[in-house]
Amino acid sequence: MSHTAHIPSHRKPRRSASKMALRAGVTGGVLSTLAVAGAAGSANAAEPVTQTIEMPTLTTDLSSQVAQSADATQQAAANYQVQAERDAAFDKAADQAKKDQVAAEKKAEAKKKAEAKAKAEAAAKREAAEKAAASRSSERTTLQATTASSSDEAPAPASGSAAAVVSFVKSHIGDAYVSGGTGPSSWDCSGLVQAAYKQAGVDLPRVSQDQSTQGTQVGLDNLQAGDILYWGGSGSAYHVAIYVGGGKFVGAQNSSTGVVEQPLSYDQPTGAVRVL
């Protein structure tokens, strides 16, 4: 008998043990695997027994779904960006179109005002021209009546210095008209008048504008031989000639006629001045 046989054994019997193990794998937040281990042993069993149960997983399918969801999200974001850009472009185009319309309306309004102004100015000019024409016609009618009555009478003879003026211009009837001409055989209107008055010892200005302001203004119904006739305004005359009596005048008219004698009705003068 062993010397230790009487000593009770110190080995305690092993308890029954049960183990349960939960193995969980989560892909994308979803339960993947559940393992349950259980073992039952008797008090005399030497080691516990462990049993593992493998549950099927959904990892592949979920990964595919997650990928598809990410693609869909990315595509939605891209579509939103494209739509936002289109909306911005549309708003910009609408704003520009509105500005263009306002500018076009302003331009049309300015054009309309300019046309109205031009029409008003043209109407004013026509009215002024018609009034001037009516005035000239009235004056011509009066002058023709005066000339007709005076032409029935014998022309009053010129006397003194006036006779020298009349004699000079008549002696040059048929001479040529030349702009700026002062003789001896070609003249312009004021050159002939100046030369005629020089025969009477009177120095006149050279141009018709100044000659129309010399001496005293006389009415066309009270003319005397030797008076200076003028066309245009006093101080702004554009033509002059010499009244020679009998309702006629002599003047250097133009390059076509030269120096001629014509009745007052041929070209009605505006006024007259008496220097002698």
Q: Where are the domains of the chain?
A: 16-57, 74-153, 154-274
Counting residues of the chain whose pLDDT is more than 90, the rounded percentage is: 41
Residue 2: is its pLDDT beyond 60?
A: no
DSSP assignment letter at 270: S
Block residue for tokens 């493998």: 54
pLDDT number for residue 158: 56
Residue 24: is its pLDDT beyond 50?
A: no
Instruction: Name, in order, each residue with C-beta under 8 angstroms of 185's C-beta and a sequence gap of 6 or more.
Output: 172, 175, 176
Tokens of 173: 């009837």
Residue 274: C-alpha distances to residues 33, 94, 261 (Å): 138, 79, 20
Residue 205: is its pLDDT beyond 80?
A: yes
Alpha-carbon distance of 118 to 109, in angstroms, equals 14
DSSP assignment letter at 264: G
pLDDT number for residue 171: 96
Sign of the four-CA dihedral 59, 64, 65, 70 = positive
Task: Give 3-state DSSP helix, strand, coil % of the chain, rounded to 5.
Answer: 45, 15, 40
In tens, the pLDDT along 107-133 reads 888 888 888 888 888 877 777 767 665
pLDDT number for residue 81: 86
pLDDT number for residue 112: 85
Q: Which amino acid is at 29?
A: G
The highest-level CATH class for domain 154-274 is alpha beta
Q: What is the mean pLDDT of the chain?
A: 77
The H or E element spanning position 242 is: strand 239-245
pLDDT number for residue 159: 54
Is the Cβ–Cβ distance between 238 and 270 less than 8 Å?
no
pLDDT number for residue 34: 40
CA atoms within 13 A on the CB side of 164: 12
pLDDT number for residue 174: 96
Q: Are strands 258-263 and 271-274 parallel, antiparallel or unpaired?
A: unpaired
Rg (CA), the chain: 64
Judged by phi (left if over 0) then psi (alpha if -120 to 50, else beta), residue 180 lies in left
Residue 237: is its pLDDT beyond 60?
A: yes
In tens, the pLDDT along 92-109 reads 888 898 888 888 888 888
Residue 1: is its pLDDT beyond 50?
A: no
Beta strands (DSSP E) in 22-139 are none
Global pTM value: 0.46
- Model confidence band, residue 29 (pLDDT cutoffs 50, 70, 90): very low
In tens, the pLDDT along 36-83 reads 444 444 444 445 555 555 555 555 667 777 778 777 888 888 888 888
Residue 81: C-alpha distances to residues 78, 232, 276 (Å): 5, 82, 102
pLDDT (average), residues 133-145:
52
